[in-house]
Structure 1
Amino acid sequence: MQILEEKMDIREKLATAKLNEISHAKKQTETFVQSFQDAQIRDQTRFNKSYQEIVEHFKTQANNETEIYGNHMNSLLRSLSSTIEVFTEAEKKRKSLTELMQRTLQREQKRFNSSYHQIVENFGSNSNKTLHDLIVNLQKGYEEMVRKRDPIAFSAYRTSPLTLQQGRKVIFDKVWTNVGNGYDPITGVFTAPRAGLYHITGLILSNTDGSFYSRLYHNKVVASGSYITGDGYKTGTFDVVFSLQKGDEVYIAGYHGTYYSDMIYSDSEIHVTFSGHSVA
């Protein structure tokens, strides 16, 4: 019995110790839970405060932005209003100017009508001879205008040599320009399609070692000569302004005198040319 009582005492002590441990663990748990709750309350309070601060800051910023945009919009509206006023004033001035121009035009129209009627009356009182002279002058003026607006021009060349005997015409058989069809590449002769002033130029190249003499002819009469001498290639030029009648002929040919020209030289690089155009 004594042994049994001792065992019971031991078990009672162990149970009491376990109960104490459980009671201590419970207190620790309650303390931890309370601490966690306190921390959660503090965090919630801090979050709420931060949230309120953010909301207040957003409201303040939104108010500031709204005020800035409002001021900007007011400035734009004032600028637009000022621009509208400027356009309105300009429109008023334009209308006033238009009305002034219309009145001026009406006055000028009346003046023109009066002058026109006076001219018609004066014209009706003139003789038939005066009317005929007027028509003739108008016709001449019209023909002169047409002539000036209808140029004559030619420019021809050779790409091969040509033996230039006495009196033989230089045939520039290739044509760059022939406005008015005055130049004939078969004969080498330019025939004036109408009366007027013409600027005529020519370029001749010789490869002879002796004298070289060519001439520019106007209606078979010598108008200009080109004489060159010396060794190797030699260049002769013509530059004349003629007062030609319709049908007059101009060309380049060899000399008809004691001397005679030898060979004109040209190749694909084009060393000889004959050109002319109307100037008046």
Structure 2
Amino acid sequence: MELFEENMKMMENSMSKKLEKMNEIEKETETFTETMLDEQLQIQMQINDSYQEIIDTFKDQSHNETKVQRLSDGQKVIFDGIWTNVGNGYKPSTGIFKAPHPGLYQFTAVLMSNNGVVMNVYLCRNRLRIATSYLTGDGYNTGTFDVVLTLQKGDKVHIKSSTSESIYSDSSKYITFSGYRIP
């Protein structure tokens, strides 16, 4: 009988240890599942945001291929299209590039004035004017920006008008904006 009781205790201990191990595995599985679901949700949100930006850009481009942007004093320039937007730093609906990471960034922009119209625009970082492009004369004229800036995460860069302006563009994409982090 003692031998039987001893065997029963050993089996109980063994079963208890196995149940503890199974509970640990169950907790690890739940944690892993939650982590994977969170990551899947984040990826799906990024895909949805990118998809929506593509749809918005397509709608904007299909509404009118030739356009003159009429800007009031201090209004931000909205650029025609997006070819690449790694990190989704540029928001086409606002015309603002928001640094997704701290670092050294290069910005290049080209703008075209409407026929015979004076144009004066600024490249700004967090509302501070960094560079100016002033265009005057007959015909269509192009102005450019090419600057390198040290940005903190969340710093904003955009082009804005100094007075009422007319910026010309059409399907040839005369106005462009590029901003990227230099490795």
The answer for unaligned runs of 5 or more in structure 2 is 1-56
Question: What is aligned with 1:166?
Answer: 73
Letter in 2 for 1:274: F
Is 2:175 aligned against 1:278? no
CA contact (8 A) 1:208 1:233 kept: yes
Question: What is aligned with 1:183?
Answer: 90
Query: Which aligned pairs between 1:77-96 and structure 2 lie closer than 5 A?
Result: none
Q: Deviations over 1:96-149 (max 9, x none)?
A: xxxxxxxxxxxxxxxxxxxxxxxxxxxxxxxxxxxxxxxxxxxxxxxxxxxxxx
What TM-score, normalized by structure 1, do the two folds share?
0.41
Match of 2:168 among 246, 265, 276: 265
Question: What is aligned with 2:28?
Answer: none
- How far the C-alpha of 1:211 sits from its partner, in A, is 2.1
- How far the C-alpha of 1:268 sits from its partner, in A, is 0.7
Higher strand share: 2
What TM-score, normalized by structure 2, do the two folds share?
0.62
Distance (Å, rounded) in 2 between the aligned partners of 1:262 and 1:251: 16
Letter in 2 for 1:221: L
- How far the C-alpha of 1:208 sits from its partner, in A, is 3.9
Query: Which aligned pairs between 1:113-192 and structure 2 lie closer than 5 A?
Result: 159=65, 160-192=67-99
Structure with greater contact order relative to length (CA < 8 Å, sep ≥ 6): 2
CA contact (8 A) 2:113 2:135 kept: no
Question: What is aligned with 1:231?
Answer: 138
- How far the C-alpha of 1:209 sits from its partner, in A, is 2.0
Distance (Å, rounded) in 1 between the aligned partners of 2:178 and 2:165: 22
- How far the C-alpha of 1:239 sits from its partner, in A, is 0.2
Q: State the aligned residue count.
A: 121
CA contact (8 A) 1:208 1:263 kept: no
Is 2:120 aligned against 1:213? yes
Distance (Å, rounded) in 2 between the aligned partners of 1:178 and 1:262: 27
Question: What is aligned with 1:52?
Answer: none
Distance (Å, rounded) in 1 between the aligned partners of 2:94 and 2:80: 8
Letter in 2 for 1:206: S
Distance (Å, rounded) in 2 between the aligned partners of 1:244 and 1:279: 11
Q: Deviations over 1:132-180 (max 9, x none)?
A: xxxxxxxxxxxxxxxxxxxxxxxx9x75321122101011252110001
CA contact (8 A) 2:80 2:173 kept: no
Letter in 1 for 2:70: T
Distance (Å, rounded) in 2 between the aligned partners of 1:173 and 1:264: 11
Distance (Å, rounded) in 2 between the aligned partners of 1:171 and 1:164: 10
CA contact (8 A) 1:205 1:264 kept: yes
Question: What is aligned with 2:27?
Answer: none
SS at structure 2 position matched to 1:161 = strand
The answer for unaligned runs of 5 or more in structure 1 is 1-155
SS at structure 2 position matched to 1:200 = strand
Is 2:152 aligned against 1:245? yes
SS at structure 1 position matched to 2:83 = strand
| Sequence identity (%) | 50
- How far the C-alpha of 1:190 sits from its partner, in A, is 0.3
Distance (Å, rounded) in 2 between the aligned partners of 1:204 and 1:187: 17
Q: Deviations over 1:220-267 (max 9, x none)?
A: 010000011111101110000000000000000101xxxx24211111
Match of 1:202 among 99, 109, 133: 109
SS at structure 2 position matched to 1:180 = helix
Distance (Å, rounded) in 1 between the aligned partners of 2:80 and 2:98: 16
